[in-house]
Amino acid sequence: MPGRTGRSQRQSPQPRRARASVTLPVPGQPDVWNTVALPSRVSSVLSAPFRSREPGRRRVTIAASAAALAVLAGGTAAYGVAHKTITLDVDGEISRVTTFAGSVDGVLDDQGIEVGDRDTVAPAAPSALRDGSEIVVRHATLVTAQVDGVATDVWTTALDADEALTTLATRGGDVRLVASRSAGRAELPIDLALDGPVEVRVDGQVLEVADGSRGLAAVLDQLGLTLGELDQVSVARAGGAKVAVVINRVVVQDVPELQPIPFAVVEQPDPNRFEGSKKVTTAGVEGQRTLVHRITTVDGLETARELVTDAVTAAPVDKVVAVGTKERPAAPAPARSAPSAGSGSSGPVNPNVGGDADSLNWAALAACESGGRPDAVSSTGKYHGLYQFSVATWNGVGGSGLPSQASPDEQTMRAKMLYNRSGAGQWPSCGPRLFS
């Protein structure tokens, strides 16, 4: 504590002691009302009395000697009144001071103790002093208090966290002091407790330190606890111990999330394909969107989530479908000829046989094989009709006579039967036209 040269003399400081409560209010919402304790009175130990001066010479008259004695007696009495021994308690540090000051502010001035607007002094600064007086000074400290989850800065003249929490308890149900963080350390501007143990609650454990007067940083160092950059440290009331240091592990990390982007289907007209026919020319591929959320967890529980990035990391590829626009050729008119000997029917023939064959492009196959002529015969005379059957193949699907003499519907019906049995490979060159 700063000192300054003067008439007052401070004796050795005494240890902090139990004190009787005296309320020293500091008004205002950012301030708390604290009680201070008067220091225990200490026995007065006066300085050795001044020795009297040597007597005057004998030649002084009796009257003069009597007058001198009267003056000396008056001076001694004045000295006894002016010289005092008082007890001074500054922020819990108790010392005994001998002084000639006549008021509280005189002692504080002699001792170099500065007092601000938020500090408290008892008795009041202008109060007169007498031998054995006690003076209490409490300097205000700015702390961060969290009341029901809302943090605010508060001035307090409490000596420790226990006292500050007691005075703040009337402001809410959940009251705690918030430690400041810097360089991996946690600091509290006041002690945790003047005496007794404190609890430390961290990582699901409750640890106890016997001496809470060493300060927050020293308590954490004693336990070998390492704080993360974002960890929160606060001090709250506890059960068995006076106060509990609560450490909340805070983790903030960016977490990516992948989402598919569906592809579009694009149809493009194709004049080289017959109407109604479709073909996929480009396969569709899904794209990918990457979302990055900044997630905050406190002791493993998510407390906040913020979207920080939303980007397309892979664009989708459209599915392209060619759609035919070419007009289909008209179906060939049935030939007027005698029914084939083995057809077994003189009436019309249903060309549909069921299965996949009915949905294929038979007009395109006929156009490719015979130019669409039902009575066509190859130059070799071996292949006949719309689909250029050989006689053996024609007979194999139930036909009789020459294929070129059968009706177009019968030729188409038996061609479908052949497809259902053997596939498009029966027409090596023109077979792919079935799928156009």
pLDDT, position 128: 87
Spatial distance between the Cα atoms of 434 and 425, rounded to a whole number of angstroms: 11
Q: Give Cβ neighbours of residue 2 (< 8 Å, ≥ 6 apart).
A: 112, 113, 114
pLDDT, position 241: 58
Once rounded to an integer, what is the mean pLDDT over residues 156-169?
A: 87
Q: Please give the residue that has the higher pLDDT: either 166 or 280.
A: 280
pLDDT digits (tens, 9 = 90+) for 81-107: 578 898 999 988 899 999 888 888 888
pLDDT, position 102: 86
Report whether pLDDT(282) > 50. Answer: yes
Spatial distance between the Cα atoms of 383 and 393, rounded to a whole number of angstroms: 10
The three-state secondary structure class of 77 is: helix
Helix (H) or strand (E) holding 69: helix 62-82
pLDDT digits (tens, 9 = 90+) for 100-139: 888 888 889 988 999 888 888 988 878 888 888 899 999 9
Structural domains of the chain in order of their starting residue, each with its CATH number: 9-48+58-138 (no CATH), 141-248 (no CATH), 252-325 (2.20.230.10), 329-435 (1.10.530.10)
Q: Max CA-CA distance within the chain? A: 187
Asked whether 295 and 253 are in contact (CB, 8 A), the reply is yes
Spatial distance between the Cα atoms of 323 and 325, rounded to a whole number of angstroms: 7
Local confidence band at 329 (pLDDT 50, 70, 90 cut-offs): confident
The bridge status of strand 383-384 relative to strand 243-248 is unpaired
Report whether pLDDT(33) > 70. Answer: no
Find tokens 């939303």 and name the residue. 310
Helix (H) or strand (E) holding 147: strand 141-147
Supply the DSSP string of 229-271, one letter for each residue.
TT-EEEEEE-SSSSEEEEEE-EEEEEEEEEEEEPPPEEEEEEE
Supply the DSSP string of 283-327, one letter for each residue.
--B-EEEEEEEEEEEETTEEEEEEEEEEEEEE--B-EEEEEEEEP
Q: Please give the residue that has the higher pLDDT: either 348 or 343.
A: 348
Spatial distance between the Cα atoms of 119 and 140, rounded to a whole number of angstroms: 5
Q: How many angstroms from the chain centroid is the CA of residue 92? A: 41
Strands (E), 315-432: 319-326, 383-384, 389-390
Report whether pLDDT(272) > 50. Answer: yes
pLDDT digits (tens, 9 = 90+) for 233-242: 999 888 765 7
Report whether pLDDT(71) > 60. Answer: no
Supply the DSSP string of 166-231, one letter for each residue.
HHHGGG-SSEEEEPEEETTEEE-SSBS-SSS-EEEEETTEEEEES-GGG-HHHHHHHHT----TT-
Once rounded to an integer, what is the mean pLDDT over residues 204-225?
A: 89
pLDDT digits (tens, 9 = 90+) for 371-397: 999 999 988 889 999 999 999 999 988
Give the Cβ contact number of residue 403 at 10 Å.
29
Give the Cβ contact number of residue 208 at 10 Å.
14
Asked whether 400 and 412 are in contact (CB, 8 A), the reply is no
Helix (H) or strand (E) holding 413: helix 408-422
Local confidence band at 307 (pLDDT 50, 70, 90 cut-offs): very high
Helix (H) or strand (E) holding 97: strand 93-99
- Mean of pLDDT over the chain: 78
- Structure-token pair, residue 128: 């007169």
Report whether pLDDT(413) > 80. Answer: yes
- Structure-token pair, residue 168: 């703040």
